Chain A
């Protein structure tokens, strides 16, 4: 089993609220990723990081922001949630020694009312 955790698992929140989705891994991986996935649809990369103090935007434009102050922690923040942000958010990490095989967390299912 991969040692990558996400909290909360489910979040229902009102429009305009600020939210932070937590992601932590204990594998010491340098690379971490955030994906957004709607039900039955494909994964979209929204953010990634090569290591501490590195953050990059992914293929899908997102109003969220990320930070990487510690290797093991890669939180995602939405300053003002909107119904269009309703989706599943999946965090992953990888290491080059394993061909960058990605290990995924269980996801956070976000609903914005």
Chain B
């Protein structure tokens, strides 16, 4: 079983739609969480960190559920430019503080 699991998609949605991605992690010692965005043939870039209380950045909302060990990302009012792969990332403190990347969820926003 992978340490960080995501539905690979693709999620095909029309412009303006609301879309949500979930991610589950297996190690309960995980301490910090991120969502990265990766455009086709580009490097991953940090989209947002995920805090225990949940956080919002414009159209993007991230939630953390420690009891169920999952993280979510909600995108409201989808834009064509949101089309990308979204990577769920978990940091397990202790074992060298390494980030573990999920396989990514691909989003395609259509006009």
Residues of A within 8 A of B (CB): 31, 39, 41-43, 45, 48, 50, 56, 88, 90, 94, 96, 99-107, 109
Q: Is the interface of B mostly helix, strand, loop or mixed?
A: strand
Instruction: Decide if A99 touches B43 in the complex (CB within 8 Å).
Output: no
Query: Taking the complex as formed, is B45 at the interface, i.e. its CB lies under 8 A from any CB of chain A?
Result: yes
- A-facing residues in B76-111 (Cβ within 8 Å): 87, 91, 96-99, 101-104
- A-facing residues in B30-45 (Cβ within 8 Å): 31-32, 34, 41-45
Instruction: Decide if B43 touches A104 in the complex (CB within 8 Å).
Output: yes
Residues of B within 8 A of A31 (CB): 97
Partner of A100, one of B41, B87, B91, B103: B91
18 more contacts with CB within 8 A, not counting A94-B99, A100-B91, A104-B45, are A31-B97, A41-B103, A42-B102, A42-B103, A42-B104, A43-B101, A56-B96, A90-B44, A99-B31, A99-B32, A99-B49, A100-B32, A100-B99, A101-B46, A102-B99, A104-B44, A106-B42, A109-B41
Chain A's closest residue to B2 (CB) is: A42
Instruction: Decide if B44 touches A43 in the complex (CB within 8 Å).
Output: yes
The minimal Cβ–Cβ distance linking B99 to chain A, given in whole angstroms, is 6
